Structure 1
Amino acid sequence: MLTATVGALEELGHRAIPCPDPLDAPRMLDDLGPFDLVVSDVLMPGQTGPEMVIGLVARRPDIAVLFVTGYAGEGAAADFGGRTVLRKPFTIAGLEHAIAEAMAFDRPAPPDQLAAE
């Protein structure tokens, strides 16, 4: 599913950088520099998406988050921190809409933008 999601993101014009292991995500976050959005599956080996995102957002509270899940249940909104959740299977149009919704989520401005204002 990772390859298909990366392909769909690229088809929409985004530069997608896959991270197959959620435990590598903090290091990648530090190495990448600025970026806008984390797209995370909910169930992954080693760490869940919500667990991974808690750590990433603690480091970068300005990043947007989109959770993708094939889980058929509703899941508690609290499990996702109120973040956007896209159910699999999804269409390109559905992904595009979910990205826009995730990007509109109220996030604090990055620290360097706060200093410039």
Structure 2
Amino acid sequence: MPLDPKIADRLKRDRDGLVPAVVQQHDTGEVLMLAWMDDEALHRTLTTGRATYWSRSRRAYWVKGETSGHAQWVRHVALDCDGDTILLKVEQVGAACHTGDRTCFDADVLSVP
């Protein structure tokens, strides 16, 4: 079954049919990662409650935590005002980053003047 047309019509995709998804811990607002979704990944996420993404490098769908055990249980999904970014608020189990860090933004903090 495809993504609800009411949702699909609102999405602004890149040339590959993808929309960035910002992922936050639902109760703290902590930004965990950025991933990519197409219509099918969003449909799977909305219908299963498990965060599902499109891997640009592997060119395949992946369910967060399916192999690592570091699952993301979806608590809230929203589109931004332009329809070009998806916000997922999740219950993160374990590390969100493939490096083993809690978030993908822990390791390389840039200084500002």
In the superposition, the TM-score normalised over structure 1's length comes to 0.28
In the superposition, the TM-score normalised over structure 2's length comes to 0.29
Structure holding more helix per residue? 1
